[in-house]
Structure 1
Amino acid sequence: MTGRGCRVAVGPANNKGPERQGFLLDLVTGADGEGGSLQKLADGAARWISTTAGAPVECAAVLHRQRCCPSIAGSTPEAASVAAAEDEHADGPAALGSALAAPAVVNVGGSRWQAYRRRLLERGFGSALAVPLELQAGSAGAVIFLGPPNFGFNARVVHEASWFAGVASQSLKLALDVHGVIRAGDNLKQVLESRTSIDVACGVLMAQNRCSYSEAFGKLAGTSRNRNLKVRSVADSILKAMPSGAPGTRFEPPAIA
């Protein structure tokens, strides 16, 4: 999804354009929720950086959100496995989420992150580059680029990865906002459907027992407590027992004359 004046980075066809300001990644179209957007990000990052690096670089994307389990996606299962193990053991450059303030390179040499480096080798990678994502307050993330054996991330590739992470940050923030709106709409629809079922069931009870709405709702609530069921479930059971079955509910915007 793009705003006016934005272009979509869809692949590695041209990483050297003179004017790249305004790029956004489409992380919404075809994405099944936030996990789908994260997967599109990992796939796009791998394609983009592989062109700059001149080698097959894989990518993992990690998203940490308050009161939520971390979300992880990878351009390959091995890439996702590296990120998942890093999060589990908390011993890699991107394990701490928001604590990663700048790009971190893990090449063959060096004594830091030894356990992490061993896991890279076990999964067929020779180096890693973790770049933080700048997201909304309460969220943190990173893209982790994984190079093949005997490959090292040089300054040019690190610079390109940092630029891409900036694009990815804005794109992912937009995608998370869109998914939030969709989720809120779905929740509202569920509330409206639940309310409608309860109201219709109360109408049935009012007709059967010649009682008020308050009395009918009290009967539903009492049955709900006695059977340890939700009021919506009790209402649905009443509607399903009707000779014509439960009436359907549809929510459509009002017609404009």
Structure 2
Amino acid sequence: MDLVTGADGEERSLQILAEAAAHWVSTAAGAAIECAAVLHRQRSCPASAGSSPVAAGLAASEDEHGDGPTALGSALAAPTVINQAGARWQAYRRRLADSGFGAALAVPLDLKPGSAGALVFLAPANVGFTAKVVNEAAWFAEVASHSLKLALDVHGVIRAGDNLKQVLESRTSIDVACGVLMAQNRCSYAEAFSKLAGTSRNRNLKVRSVADSILRAMPSGAPGTRFEPPAIA
């Protein structure tokens, strides 16, 4: 399952996953089943997506209320069917019914340490989750776990690359501005950087902002300081 191509971030990968999961389990159940994908990661805000706006809203409400099978802190270790006959998750069951669903099937995703996720399949009132459907959903979640782990790794690398590029561009701008100050004041790099840092503190600005203002004030305009990674043959 490709959760990377055409996905510009984790949320889009979750959206693709939720739509694919809904299609697969709907085919197995012979009925229209909605799905929500939920992701919790350390030091990150929870993320969720749904095969429909209603499914997405129901998944997001779990974190708001903290009372559903995939809310942060819930110990979901195996596929779990939630219907109106049980006593657990009563408030969540009411939201299920209010959203037009009769039952839910929450299936955990097997992700790397520090991450937790689940697929939540949502069935209309007249459809139940048979053993066959539960097995199909569990099999799909096992396959999806590998795909989602890969997608999260790819998005993490891209995000790290973007952050590194920003740091390098900022560093280049500061270095060029220091060079200008060195030429103007016949001083060392350390002295030039000290002048930048002092102005930064006095004006309550970032050093990068002070450097950019110096470069923009040059008679020829700011020189190009954009960092581009070298081409790899």
TM-score (ref. length: structure 1):
0.86
Distance, in Å, in 2 between the alignment partners of 1:130 and 1:49 is 13
Quote the Cα distance in structure 2 between the aligned partners of 1:193 and 1:98.
Answer: 42
Match of 1:60?
36
Tell me the alpha carbon deviations over residues 13-57 of structure 1, each in whole angstroms, 9 at most, x when there is no partner.
xxxxxxxxxxxx111111121111111111111111111111111
Higher RCO, 1 vs 2 (CA within 8 Å, ≥6 residues apart):
2
Aligned match of 1:232: 208
Tell me by how many angstroms 1:98 deviates: 6.0
Matched, 1:247 2:226: no
Shift in Å at residue 222 of structure 1? 0.6
How large is the Cα RMSD of the aligned pairs? 1.5
Number of equivalent positions: 232
* Aligned twin of 1:141: 117
Runs (4+) of structure 1 moved beyond 4 Å? Answer: none
Matching of residue 153 in structure 1 with residue 129 in structure 2: yes
Counterpart of 1:228, as a letter, is: N
Q: Is the 8 A contact 1:103 1:158 kept in 2?
A: yes
Once residues 146 and 128 of structure 1 are traced to their aligned partners in structure 2, the CA distance between those partners, rounded to angstroms, is 5
2:190 aligned partner: 214
**What is the identity, as a one-letter code, of the residue corresponding to 1:206?**
M
Post-superposition shift, 1:243?
A: 2.1
2:89 to 108, 113, 116: 113
Look up the match of 2:151. 175
Give 1:207's aligned amino acid: A
- What is the letter of the counterpart of residue 79 of structure 2? P
Most deviating of 33-42 and 108-117: 108-117
Residues in 1 aligned to 2:73 and 2:135: alpha-carbon distance in whole angstroms: 20
Q: Which consecutive residues of structure 1, in runs of 5 or more, have no partner in the other structure?
A: 1-24
Shift of 1:96: 4.2
User: Aligned to 1:88, what secondary structure does the other structure show?
Assistant: helix
Instruction: Report matched runs for 1:16-31 at 5 Å.
Output: 25-31=1-7
Secondary structure at the counterpart of residue 42 of structure 1: helix
What are the superposed Cα offsets for residues 123-177 of structure 1, whole Å, 9 maximum, x if unpaired? Answer: 1111100000111111111100001121100000000000000011111110111
- 1:205 is matched with 181
Residue ranges of structure 2 left out of the alignment (5+ in a row): none
> 2: distance between equivalents of 1:38 and 1:114?
27
Pick one of 178, 183, 199 that aligns with 1:223.
Answer: 199
Pairing 1:128–2:104 present: yes
Cα distance change, pair 26–68 in 1 and its aligned pair in 2 (3 A): same
Indicate the percent of aligned positions where both proteins have the same amino acid. Answer: 77
d(CA) in 1 for partners of 2:182, 2:232:
31
CA shift, 1:66, in A, is: 1.1
User: In the alignment, does 2:47 pair up with 1:71?
Assistant: yes
- The equivalent residue for 1:84 is 60
User: Secondary structure, in 3 states, of the residue corresponding to 1:99?
Assistant: coil
CA distance in 1, matches of 2:108, 2:74: 7
